[in-house]
């Protein structure tokens, strides 16, 4: 039967009733806060293309981590900006690297906060690519050794989870093998399994100082036109030992988030990337949108699509709103 027997508006009449029948919920527990740690002391440098985000030295990263934890955000993910870069990304796996120092300092102050680390070379190489280069080509297999060294150095420093984001073939297996053989078999891997070659990453490259000095990343990141290929990438990473799989970006790839959630039993993460964040900030500054309402609607849409956790630069603002 249809109208007038069925009236869907009956369940929308009050806020309390709407909450009772709500299909999807969002809480601070769903959020992961990305942070950019750099060298020095007392540093809090604005990222011009990402209003409200900063490059911070270890002392300020600790303070920001404390604030996040007090708001109920359970996890952060760290990206490092080293003082020196070279062709082999040596500061990525140095015990004295900025990320390694930040992990120890945060754990000393906020031991309960989950620390995820981004495992990639692009922030640490002098050419800005995610792998070793020879004659203008990004070499897959030689890169795996360095990624594994980086992940192990993070685990030794006290990281709770490592997150390979490079999109080299076989990186999850290489990292899993090194962690297991070194006594870190309990450290989970959150794999950037379906990471697309996206124009939405633009502001991040300023934040992480990782713009490639030549070419682009299309030979290793996924083609935005491909949907079925994401299932292959996720399957391979799970077979290699991934514990959580990620889709990046999120906003234009909710079909992929949904596909992954429907097809696999692992937790699914969605990365609400820099360009998505900055578009909301720019539109709000121009007075075209209500920033808070649009932010919350976007984050809810990721949960509705199937994401179990969301990496987002909106994390602090969203947590404050959810705690009201």
Q: At what angle do helices 228-240 and 254-263 cross, to 10 degrees?
A: 50
Helix (H) or strand (E) holding 207: helix 202-207
Active-site residue, 293 included:
no
DSSP 141-190: HHHHHHHHHHHHHHHHHT-SEEEE-S--TTHHHHHHHHHHHTT-TT--BE
- The phi and psi torsions of 72 (rounded to 5 degrees) equal 95, 5
Tokens matching residue 182: 């070194």
Q: Are 131 and 166 spatial neighbours (Cβ–Cβ below 8 Å)?
A: yes
Check if the beta carbon of residue 295 is closer than 8 Å to that of residue 317.
yes
From the list 85, 149, 195, 281, the catalytic residue is: 195
Determine the Cα–Cα distance for residues 298 and 312; give it in Å rounded to an integer. 11
8 Å CB contact between 312 and 318: yes
Give me the helix-helix angle, 291-305 and 315-322, nearest 10°.
90
Q: Tokens 């604030």 label which residue? A: 67
Catalytic residue among 85, 248, 261, 281: 248
Give the residue numbers annotated as catalytic, written as ranges.
195, 248
């Amino acid at each position: 039967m249809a109208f007038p027997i069925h009236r869907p508006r009956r369940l929308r009449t009050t806020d309390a009733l709407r909450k009772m029948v709500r299909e999807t919920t969002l809480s601070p527990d769903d959020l992961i806060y990305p942070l950019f740690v750099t060298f020095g002391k007392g540093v809090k440098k604005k990222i011009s293309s990402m209003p409200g985000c900063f490059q911070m030295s270890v002392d300020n990263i600790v303070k920001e981590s404390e604030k996040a934890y007090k708001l109920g955000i359970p996890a952060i993910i760290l990206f490092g900006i080293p003082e020196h870069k070279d062709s082999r990304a040596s500061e990525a796996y140095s015990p004295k690297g900025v990320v390694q120092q930040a992990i120890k300092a945060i754990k000393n102050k906020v031991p309960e906060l989950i620390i995820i680390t981004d495992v990639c070379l692009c922030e640490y190489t002098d050419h800005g690519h995610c792998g070793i280069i020879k004659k203008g080509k990004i070499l897959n297999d030689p890169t795996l050794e360095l990624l594994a060294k980086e992940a192990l150095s993070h685990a030794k420093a006290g990281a709770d989870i490592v997150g390979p984001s490079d999109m080299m073939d076989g990186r999850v297996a290489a990292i899993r093998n090194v962690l297991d053989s070194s006594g870190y078999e309990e450290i989970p891997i959150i794999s950037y399994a379906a990471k697309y070659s996206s124009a939405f990453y633009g502001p991040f490259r300023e934040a992480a100082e990782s713009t490639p000095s030549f070419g682009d990343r299309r030979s290793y990141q996924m083609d935005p036109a491909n949907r079925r290929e994401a299932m292959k990438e996720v399957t391979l990473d799970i077979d290699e030992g991934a514990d959580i799989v990620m889709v990046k970006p999120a906003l234009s790839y909710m079909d992929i988030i949904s596909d992954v959630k429907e097809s696999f039993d692992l937790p699914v993460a969605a990365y609400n990337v820099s360009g998505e964040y900055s578009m909301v900030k720019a539109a709000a500054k121009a007075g075209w949108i209500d920033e808070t309402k649009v932010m919350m609607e976007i984050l809810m849409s990721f949960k509705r699509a199937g994401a179990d956790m969301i990496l987002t630069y909106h994390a602090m603002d969203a947590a404050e709103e959810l705690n009201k």
